Amino acid sequence: MGKRIMAVDDSKTMRDMVSFTLKGAGYDVLVADDGVNALSALVGEDVDLIITDVNMPNMNGIELVQKLRSDPRFRATPILILTTESDDSLKQQGRAAGATGWIVKPFVPEKLLKVVNKVCA
Amino acid sequence: MAEEQAAGQNVPQGFDPNLIGLAQAAVDDQGVEAGQTVQFVSFKVDDGEYGVDIMAVREIQGWVEVTTLPNTPDHVRGVLNLRGIIVPIFDLRCRFGNGLTEASPLHVMIIVAVGNRIMGLLVDAVSDIITTNANEIMPVPEIEARGDQRFLSGLITVQDRMVALLEIEKLFDIDDLVAQVSSAAE
Amino acid sequence: MLPAAHDDPFAQFKVTFFEECSELLADMEQHLADLESGSYENETLHAIFRAVHSIKAGAGAFSFSRLVTFSHKFEYLLDELRTGKLTADDGLVETLFRSFDILSDLVGFAQNGEAPDEDYGQGALDQISGYLNGETVTAAAASADEPEANIPEASIPVESAEAASEAAGQSPDADKNGLKHFRIEFTPREAMYRHANEPLLIIRELKDLGKTETTIDTSRLPALHIMEPEDAYFSWVFDLWTEYGRDEVDEVFEFVIDDCDLTIVTLDDNNNVVEVDVSPGLDSGEDSGFGFFVSDDKLSAGEVSDAPPAEAVAEKTASGLVVEPDVKKASVSATPEGAVQKPAAPAAAGPGAAPKASSIRVDVDRVDRLVNMVGELVITQSMLAQEVENSTIPPTDRVFTGMDELSTHIRDLQEDVMSIRMQPVKSVFSRMPRIVRDVSKKLGKKVKLITEGESTEVDKTVIEELADPLTHMIRNSLDHGLETPAERLEAGKTEEGSIRLSAEHRGGRIVIEIADDGRGINREKVLHLAREKGVVSEDATLSNNEIDNLIFAPGFSTADEVTDLSGRGVGMDVVRRNIQTLGGRVSVHSQPGAGTRFQLTLPLTLAVLDGMIVSVAGEKFVVPISSILETVRPPEDDVERMVDGSCVVRIRGEYIPVVPTARVFNFAGGEQDPSKGLVILAETEGGRVVGLLVDELSGQQQVVIKSLETNYKAVQGIASATILGNGSVCLILDVDALAKMPALIPAGTMNSNIHKNMAAQVAAE
């Protein structure tokens, strides 16, 4: 497939699971543990999709989405945020920041792949 | 396992480390037949020929000087540096009650794995690899009084030789704390 | 340990999850302690929230439902706290601690595959509900609006996935072929593209549902020169025959629902409309767990693409047409995706922000391997150095300078690598306030804990071993050392007792002290008990310090009643033994009425030590430099021989017993005369000084510690082993054990005879 996805989450378990699921489906996966590191990793690297958690130290997911959207390289890159159902305001914030969609944690692998397929295939 | 067979500098004649790999392959080809096939590495100590389960053997190397451990039984010759890990070496002749081996580079150390431990057996020479059926192993007759009796798990006849199969776990009675200044009864 | 992957593809991550949980819980405990002491910032609250949030997310992934449910509520409470809707008063902090405990326990249960009782943690949950319902809230606002906290249900994915697929299954109005016929009119608006939603993908997904016939309306497409590349000009009409239901169709468009005009009608066999529904809402029914955003934001004006639209069009066409053969009009998809090549926007914030000091997570295994490899490097380097020394290469040759540099580099490398594993003791110390709180409460005593030197760093492996001994000694202080408030007042002390826990580096080791201002050790009781248990003989006289150290004797316990705190049969002797296994020492000093002080010394790292190489009867040994006080070659006059053949040496007025190392080890030969050999003065725990008699000194070097016990077992007098530059094994001496050994050789055994024979021989020479 050749598509690259960046997954950003401060939980190693989450990173591992997302990475595993996506790699298993043939995607190339980059990971980062917070927004700051994600941005540095993206210097000189292009990705086809960014999946990010919201609650992270140093730079939360919403801020990351904002920064990505203001970068010409990622203006039109699909961005999914990982959120939990109890965070309705967070979805709104993500929306306002320019995120393409959201996935609720915890998720089953099939769902992740389905959503990923929907935005980037 | 074949890749772990690193021959030491002074491998005695007649022993080809590749044999183990080939033997293993041969067994794999045959598959499990009626009565399980077992393989042993056989070696000599004094006039006796012994065998140890090939699955336990990690490698074979020539004798080198080992570092003595104080206040340990005589048969504990010392410890060896095996590529960075410390491995105790046990003198089988002494263990069988026949005195200390006068070790020379021509003697051989068989490195075996027992559970989680790696240990070495100092023997005179390695002979062969024996492939046999489990049901050909005969029990050790109790009437015979041998110095090595308690370490044996069985006897087999190979061609016209008697090979005594060793139970490695029994060789290393780790709870032996008593320092034996003199060898066991001869 | 890994369950079959096909059963649960995520099962392999459980290990990672539980590791992560234990880190998160440890951090959380620290943060809660900060919260309690009032020394916290906003970030602390966020960190605590994130910890529970992460645990919940992972728990959900593995369907640990109890854990999910609890952490869900806990998380909600923490959210209220961090957003300022609740304040951290004592009561809330208490609830947080309690919830933390339950959370920890539930993690433990999940890890062990156990299921706790139905009402496990109910107390904490009630308390949490209490806060959320505004019963005990001290902050204003939020609670007033919501009399009943409306926490959405925690979702556990397996259930919702099943539910979703179940709901999707039934479709009532299938036509005679079992297929449903939908007509979908789809007109994207500009906003859709801004969210990086791609019609091509949506259309593809729609086609996956069944057979489609597509019509595209390109009539609104303006001339190229006035076209906005990112605007939406097309609309489609799809006729879809599918066995799926309306829900699946909705799902295809769910992401872009607010960014387009969408009409979906169900047609019967005669193409009559059966059901009409315009733009189904985003929140129809349950949250299916994903969604796409739509934004009304307009992009900043003036950002126009440079890339010629024609090219873009061609690109798109090449990537695959969207239409079916029977399409009625020429279709060209001009989605701007390929055309978005912006000139460097002046305001591009981009990833230019300098990252803050960051850390990376590394598997402990990797670090260990690295440490081992560096250790091997040290050995190889010293081997090389030796070869070079022994060679005929002239000393002026550059090889020598090279070797020196190599040695320096490797030493630096080693220090740096070792420091990777260094961790501040804080992580262990931070568990102590909790213990002090809980135990002192239980015992009805008032105790405050003072910690110092928390940032003192120690190797990770040592840290892990510290927790138990520290806990033990603190409990000991609490249990036996410190008095009740009444007793303290009577004794003229302050009502509140104190325990001081400190750590510092001293002489290449870490020294940890636990000092209380309690009643001190009851020497009479201890001596009495020791005599009773036969630990000391009736008539032996012991110094005060020696009596104090009796508490480390095996099987010793002065507890009258076995409390569940200290008296669980695990006494101070186990503590001492465990510390000793680490190469450390523990001692106690006490002053009746004033207090008791435990002192724990440990090597900074368990992997490497600085050693002095000595020869004994031709065999080389390593003596840890940290044990060495000094080395002397005593003049003959200062050596005194005792009746039983042992020696003492007079050093600055004191008589130091000599340990005849060669004899203790039963080696033939070796220097027997202290004045002809070398006496290494070393301090044992218990404070005794002994002199190890060796033949000579060979040198000093840093050695990598290798285990003897892995493949063999412990040998008395030997701590561990190392590998010298020449590849041979060299044993590392255990000074404390050595100092005791001659006494252990009972009279009448052969060894003792050798001992005597040799003494006789020596005397005869």
Tell me the pLDDT band of C730, cut-offs 50, 70 and 90: very high
Q: Looking at per-residue confidence, does C193 or B112 come out higher?
A: B112
Number of domains in chain C: 5
Can you give the pLDDT at residue B5? 39
DSSP H helical ranges for B82-146: 92-95
Please tell me what DSSP assigns to residue C12.
G
Secondary structure class of A5 (helix, strand, coil): strand
Name the minimum distance, in Å, from the CA of B138 to any CA of chain C.
31
Residue range C563-572, pLDDT digits in tens: 444 444 457 8
pLDDT of residue C687: 67
Q: Report the distance separating Cα C737 and Cα C757, nearest Å.
A: 24
Question: Which of helix, strand or coil describes residue C664?
Answer: helix
pLDDT in tens, chain A (121 residues): 478 999 999 888 889 889 988 998 889 999 998 888 899 888 888 899 999 998 888 888 888 999 998 888 888 899 999 887 656 677 778 878 888 888 888 777 888 888 888 888 6
- Any idea what the Cα angle at residue C637 is, between residues C631 and C640, rounded to 5°? 85
Count of structural domains, chain A: 1
Domain identity same for C415 and C428: no
For chain C, give the percent of residues with pLDDT over 70.
Answer: 75
The pair phi, psi for residue A62, each rounded to 5°, is -60, -45
Comparing B54-58, B98-102, C174-178, C473-477, the range with the smallest average pLDDT is C174-178
pLDDT at C425 over 50: yes
pLDDT range class, residue C585, cuts 50, 70, 90: confident
Q: Are residues C417 and C429 in the same domain?
A: no
What residues contact C476, with CB distance under 8 A and at least 6 apart?
A: C566, C572, C598
Tell me, yes or no, whether C51 and C188 share the same domain.
no
Residue B90 has pLDDT above 90, yes or no: yes
Strand order of the sheet with strand C585-591?
C447-452, C497-506, C509-516, C595-603, C585-591
Alpha carbon of C198: minimum distance to chain A alpha carbons (Å): 7
Confirm whether C359 is domain-assigned.
no
Of C240, C220, C241, C242, which is closest to residue C231 (Cα–Cα)?
Answer: C220
Say which amino acid occupies C737.
A
Q: Name the neighbours of B, counting chains with at least 3 Cβ pairs within 8 A.
A: C
Select from B61, B63, B65, B71 the residue whose CB has the most chain C CBs within 10 Å, as the one to mutate to test that interface: B71
Phi/psi-derived region of residue B75, left when phi > 0, alpha when psi is between -120 and 50, beta in every other case: alpha
Q: What is the C-alpha separation between C87 and C709, in angstroms, rounded?
A: 54
User: Is the model more confident about C450 or about C271?
Assistant: C450
List b or e across A57-74, with b for residues whose CB sees 16 or more CB atoms inside 10 angstroms: ebbbbbbbbbbbbbbbbb
C454 and C333 assigned to the same domain: no
Set of chain C residues whose Cβ sits within 8 Å of the Cβ of B66: 729
Sheet hosting strand C608-616, strand order edge to edge = C696-704, C608-616, C619-624, C729-733, C718-723
Q: Does C721 touch chain B (CB under 8 A)?
A: yes
Q: Are C445 and C580 in the same domain?
A: yes
Q: Which amino acid is at B33?
A: E
What would the CATH number be for the domain defined by B2-185? Answer: 2.40.50.180
pLDDT, averaged across chain C: 74
pTM of the model: 0.45
**Unique residue bearing structure tokens 């031709």:** C618
Helix (H) or strand (E) holding C498: strand C497-506
Q: What pLDDT, on the 0 to 100 scale, is given for residue B23?
A: 54
Give C333-366 as a DSSP string: ---GGGG------TT--GGGSPPPS------HHH
Nearest to C715 among B72, B80, B81 (CB): B72
Do C109 and C215 reside in the same domain of the chain?
no
C3 pLDDT band, cuts 50/70/90, is very low
Token readout for C11 is: 């099962």
Q: Please say if the pLDDT value at position C760 is more than 70.
A: no
SS3 state at C610? strand
For residue range C626-663, list pLDDT tens digits in order: 788 889 999 988 998 887 778 899 988 888 999 989 88
Please give the residue range of the domain that contains residue A52: 4-119
Best of A71, A108, A110 to mutate (most C CBs within 10 Å, chain C): A108
* pLDDT score, position C168: 40
CA distance A5 to chain C (A): 15
> Looking at the predicted structure, is the pLDDT value of residue C529 above 90?
no
Residue C648's CB: how many other CB atoms inside 10 A?
Answer: 18
In CATH, what number is assigned to the domain containing residue A33?
3.40.50.2300
Q: What is the DSSP letter of C477?
A: I
What would the pLDDT profile of C354-396 be if each residue is shown by its tens digit?
444 567 777 777 777 787 788 778 778 877 887 888 888 888 8
Confidence at residue C8, expressed as pLDDT on a 0 to 100 scale: 64
What chain C residue is nearest to B70 in terms of C-alpha separation?
C665
Confidence tier at B18 by pLDDT (50, 70, 90):
low
* Whether residue C190 sits in one domain with residue C314: yes
Q: How far apart are CA C39 and CA C93, in angstroms?
A: 13
Contact partners for chain C, using 3 or more CB pairs closer than 8 A, are: A, B
Is residue C735 domain-shared with residue C655, that is, in the same domain? yes
Query: What is the rounded distance in angstroms from the CA atom of residue C443 to the CA atom of residue C566?
Result: 12
Percent of chain C with pLDDT over 90: 11
Q: In this structure, are C666 and C548 located in the same domain?
A: no
Q: A 8-67 residues with CB below 8 A of C? A: 10-14, 16-17, 20-21, 24, 33-34, 36-37, 39-40, 42-43, 55-58, 67
Which pLDDT tens digit goes with each residue over C206-264? 888 888 888 888 888 888 777 877 778 888 888 888 888 888 888 888 777 777 888 88
Token couple for B171: 């060789």
> CB burial class (10 A; 0-12, 13-18, 19+) of residue B18?
exposed
pLDDT of residue C459: 81
Ranges C98-112, C159-173, C726-740: which has the least confidence: C159-173
Selecting from C13, C68, C344 the residue whose C-beta is nearest the C-beta of A17 gives C13
Neighbours of C375 (CB within 10 A): 23
Cβ partners under 8 Å of residue B85, min gap 6: B118, C706, C710, C711
Domain boundaries, chain B: 2-185
Q: What is the pLDDT of residue C755?
A: 41
Q: According to the model, what pLDDT value does residue A51 have? A: 94
Cα–Cα dist B111/B57, whole Å: 6
Pairing of strands B161-166, B152-158: antiparallel
Q: How far is A26 from chain C (nearest CA, A)?
A: 16
What 8-state DSSP symbol labels residue C172? Answer: T
Does residue B72 surpass a pLDDT of 50? Answer: yes
d(CA C427, CA C429): 6
Maximum alpha-carbon separation in chain B: 50
| Cα B64-B69-B72 angle, rounded to 5 deg | 120
Highest mean pLDDT among C279-288, C512-521, C534-543: C512-521
3-state DSSP call for residue C235? strand
B114 phi/psi in degrees, rounded to 5: -125, 110
Q: What is the pLDDT of residues B147-186, one digit of tens each?
A: 677 788 889 998 888 899 998 887 776 444 333 322 333 2
Q: Is C654 exposed, middle or buried (0-12, 13-18, 19+ CB in 10 A)?
A: exposed
Contact yes or no for C708 and B68 at CB 8 A = no
How far is C173 from C349, CA to CA, in rounded Å? 53
Question: How many A×C Cβ pairs under 8 Å?
Answer: 190
CA triplet C320, C324, C329: central angle to 5 degrees?
95
Q: CB of C361 within 8 A of CB of A33?
A: yes
- Angle, CA of C664, C670 and C675, to the nearest 5°: 100
Our separate counts of H helices and E strands in chain B read 3, 10
Candidate from C711, C729, C750 with C-beta closest to B67: C729
List the CATH number of the domain containing C54: 1.20.120.160
pLDDT score of C146: 36
SS3 for C570? coil
Q: Please count the CA atoms within 13 angstroms of the CA of C459 that sit on its side-chain side.
A: 21
Q: For position C170, what pLDDT does the model report?
A: 40
How wide is the angle at C-alpha A48 spanned by C-alphas A43 and A49, nearest 5°? 95
What's the domain range around C712?
608-764
Q: Which range is most confident: A13-22, B132-141, C86-95, C756-765?
A: A13-22
- 3-state SS class at C259: helix
Measured CA to CA, the distance from residue A45 to residue A41 in angstroms comes to 7
Residues 6 or more apart whose CB falls under 8 angstroms from that of C420 comprise: C362, C367, C370
Q: Where are the beta strands (DSSP E) in chain A?
A: 4-8, 28-32, 49-53, 79-83, 101-104
Residue pair C583/C719 in contact by the 8 Å Cβ criterion: yes
Q: Indicate contact of B with A: 3+ CB pairs under 8 A.
A: no
> Which secondary structure element, helix H or strand E, spans residue C311, and what is its range?
helix C309-318
Instruction: State the CB neighbour count (10 A cutoff) for residue C269.
Output: 10
| β-strand partners of B89 | B78, B120
* Residue C685 CB partners (closer than 8 Å, separation 6+): C576, C585, C586, C587, C736
Which ranges constitute the DSSP H helices of chain B? 17-30, 92-95, 168-171
DSSP for C372-421 reads HHHHHHHHHHHHHHHHHHHSS--TTSHHHHHHHHHHHHHHHHHHHHHHHT
H or E stretch including A65?
helix A61-69
C and B in touch (3+ CB pairs within 8 angstroms): yes
Q: Residue C530, by phi and psi: left (phi above 0), alpha (psi -120 to 50) or beta? A: alpha
Suggest the residue from C373, C374, C621, C713 to mutate for an interface test with chain B (most B CBs closer than 10 A).
C713
Contacts of B72 in chain C (CB under 8 A): 715
